[in-house]
Structure 1
Amino acid sequence: MTAQDSATAPTSITVGAPVRRAGAPSPRGTLFAALGVLSFSLTFPSTAWALESFGPWSMVSLRLLVAALLAGVFLWRGRVPFPDRAHWAGFAVVIGGVMIGFPVLTTLALGTATTSHAAVVVGLLPLTTAVFAAVRTRRRPSRAFWAAALAGAAVVVAFTVQQSGGALTRADLYLFGALLLCAAGYTEGGRLSGLMPGWHVVGWALVLCVPLALVGALLGLSLEPWHLTVHGVAGLLWVASASTFLGLYLWYRGMAAIGVARASQLQLAQPLATLVWSVLLLGEHLSPAAPVAAAGVLVCIAVTQRARS
């Protein structure tokens, strides 16, 4: 991303641009959000890989530091000014929910739960984000949208619970806490991305995490056992560069273009994609019901993308 890109980016993601009616689907915005979801779908498997080399606190802190280094380079090259004071509260919500809360809680959960079980968080995240967005932005999606969103959430939850055998574990408290924090952070980040380029939001949120992440990394590496493996390093690099930096940039840019509620429903496909990656990368077993669930989810996504606000 160059300085020239940063100068032109706000125009392409501004909410309510006069050339498009409010709530209208944007193919480009949908593509950005979908690519963000694809990046996110590898987060749980790559986190499981990273935990082979690092403890949970070390991994989360190093993840933030690597992502913040990338973000800092882009901000410096783009000569991006520090956010205005009026946006500080919004950035605090993004940092607390997306940059710190969700990674910490899901990493702790993955210490005892499988990625298949953890996927239930993402299964409920689209609906929770849509609710947060409706309250925060006071834009009310149609009844058809809510019906499809509820149906999609029900399909995903039923499938992921069946996949994990229906067992509840202590990790569920971490997962549901991560769900609420992430939904709030997504909503506020989507709102900020309508006021500035999405990569500015992601970049500054990451950079502002550096002091806390640095302390966490030093303490974690000194108190937790760690040993470098190919899987561990690859997993850490993915969650830092792709999930935390690039994925969030694509996600926020997509949300700014098509709306937080509509973009959130694309994440209905994320648990199923995560389960596929879990089979391919971690050797977990996929239920025969997966194709049926995938078809149901795709129908629900299509309805939410066509529904008016």
Structure 2
Amino acid sequence: MTDRDAPASSHLFGLLMAGTGVLAFSLTFPATQKAMAVFDAWTVGIGRSVVAAALAGICLLIARARFPRREHLLPVALVGAGIVVGYPIFTALALEHVSSAHAAVVTGLLPLATAAMSRLRGNERPSPLFWAASVAGAVVILAFTLRDGISGFGVADLLLIGSLVTGGIGYAEGGRISKSMPGWQVISWGLVLSLPVTLPITAASLVLAPPRFEHAGASAFIGFGYVAVFSMFLGFCAWYPGLARVGVTRGSQMQLLQPLLTVGWAALLLHDSVDATTLTTAVLVLACVGLAQWARLSAPAAPALAGPAIRS
């Protein structure tokens, strides 16, 4: 392999890694709704992080991973706040009121939220075309949520907006720090260090809203296992290294496929009714986000965090 081929190969591998993460994430909403047949939304949203933290802790012990350096603690804390706590609980609570297909369309702006948060943190500088496409995508989402008038915009949509903010923070910060720390360790430490928050919340939710075992079925336990193992841990072990290789803004373009994949999974697994409006909106959001993601960056990414670069 020539020196010229090496960067292209690394870029392709990064996109494949990011794509693998997106494939894992695309099943999250349907799996969450399956799990909520037995478990409370708080148990599914936060409890899955406790299970994932146990897996992450085992991996950290086996690898004898060092505790994050001081300069890594804030980014890891932001990963925990955004991905381990914020995004899961916002989406789980929203899915009590709306379908997976509806949630997938609204959260179709997550790639833009991720890039915007990356810009705010000073990591990457998208061009004006990026911001124009972002506004267009936001308008499409707003039109979708208000298609039945102002009464059509409910608490669930506010929760989904919360998931966009927290998810964008966690995705962007995790991709940034993964340039100087193995990606699997980023999510692992985020999970483990969040246990003082996630463990008490999970215990309280199990006491206040015990599992409804009379409705228990294999699909509910499979759904919970999926969001704990794949959505909360293994998916990020592929996602963060992918973002580190190709850049947060460029890598997040792989999320273009996530809303359509989720809508497809919802129709297949949950038999959700996907009307023409939902499908059309998903395609329009994909087009807006696609335009934004392919817009050239006005400036190169900032250097990685201090410390030797580590490829994961």
Q: TM bucket by the smaller chain? A: 0.7 to 0.9
In the alignment, structure 1 residue 115 sits paired with structure 2 residue 103: no
Q: 1:200 to 1:161 in 2, by over 3 A?
A: farther
**AA matched with 1:277:** W
Q: In the alignment, which residue of structure 2 is the partner of 1:262?
A: 250
Q: In the alignment, which residue of structure 1 is the partner of 2:302?
A: none
Where in structure 2 are there 5+ consecutive unaligned residues?
Answer: 1-5, 298-312
Q: 1:29 to 1:60 in 2, by over 3 A?
A: same
SS in 1 for 2:268: helix
Q: 1:243 to 1:99 in 2, by over 3 A?
A: same
Q: In the alignment, which residue of structure 2 is the partner of 1:82?
A: 67
In the alignment, structure 1 residue 231 sits paired with structure 2 residue 216: no
**AA matched with 1:74:** C
**AA matched with 2:268:** L
Give the structure-1-normalised TM-score. Answer: 0.82
Q: Please give the residue correspondences for 1:1-309 in structure 2 after superposition, counting only pairs within 5 Å.
A: 20=7, 26-147=11-132, 167-226=152-211, 227=213, 228-288=216-276, 307-309=295-297
Cα offset, 1:304, TM superposition: 5.5
What is the rounded CA distance, in whole Å, between the counterparts of 2:246 and 2:292 in structure 1?
Answer: 11
Cα offset, 1:58, TM superposition: 1.9
1:266–1:301 contact (8 Å) kept in structure 2: no
What is the rounded CA distance, in whole Å, between the counterparts of 2:54 and 2:239 in structure 1?
Answer: 20
Cα offset, 1:123, TM superposition: 1.2
Cα offset, 1:299, TM superposition: 6.0
2:111–2:255 contact (8 Å) kept in structure 1: yes
What is the rounded CA distance, in whole Å, between the counterparts of 2:145 and 2:262 in structure 1?
Answer: 11
What is the rounded CA distance, in whole Å, between the counterparts of 1:197 and 1:92 in structure 2?
Answer: 16
1:67–1:241 contact (8 Å) kept in structure 2: yes
What is the rounded CA distance, in whole Å, between the counterparts of 2:78 and 2:120 in structure 1?
Answer: 15
What is the rounded CA distance, in whole Å, between the counterparts of 1:104 and 1:295 in structure 2?
Answer: 26
Q: 1:222 to 1:68 in 2, by over 3 A?
A: same
2:109–2:285 contact (8 Å) kept in structure 1: no
What is the rounded CA distance, in whole Å, between the counterparts of 1:293 and 1:160 in structure 2?
Answer: 10
Cα offset, 1:25, TM superposition: 8.5
**AA matched with 2:92:** T
Describe the superposition over 1:186-213 as per-residue Cα deviations: whole angstroms up to 9, x where unpaired. Answer: 1111111111110010111111122332
> 116-125 vs 48-57, which deviates more?
116-125
SS in 2 for 1:196: coil
Q: In the alignment, which residue of structure 2 is the partner of 1:6?
A: none
2:46–2:84 contact (8 Å) kept in structure 1: no
Q: 1:159 to 1:167 in 2, by over 3 A?
A: closer
Q: 1:238 to 1:175 in 2, by over 3 A?
A: same
Q: 1:254 to 1:147 in 2, by over 3 A?
A: farther
2:105–2:278 contact (8 Å) kept in structure 1: no
SS in 2 for 1:75: helix
What is the rounded CA distance, in whole Å, between the counterparts of 2:126 and 2:273 in structure 1?
Answer: 37
What is the rounded CA distance, in whole Å, between the counterparts of 1:170 and 1:274 in structure 2?
Answer: 21
SS in 2 for 1:80: coil
Q: 1:104 to 1:290 in 2, by over 3 A?
A: closer
What is the rounded CA distance, in whole Å, between the counterparts of 2:14 and 2:62 in structure 1?
Answer: 25
Q: 1:35 to 1:162 in 2, by over 3 A?
A: farther
What is the rounded CA distance, in whole Å, between the counterparts of 2:107 and 2:285 in structure 1?
Answer: 13
Describe the superposition over 1:82-102 as per-residue Cα deviations: whole angstroms up to 9, x where unpaired. Answer: 101221111111111110011
Q: 1:104 to 1:142 in 2, by over 3 A?
A: same
CA RMSD of aligned residues (A): 2.9
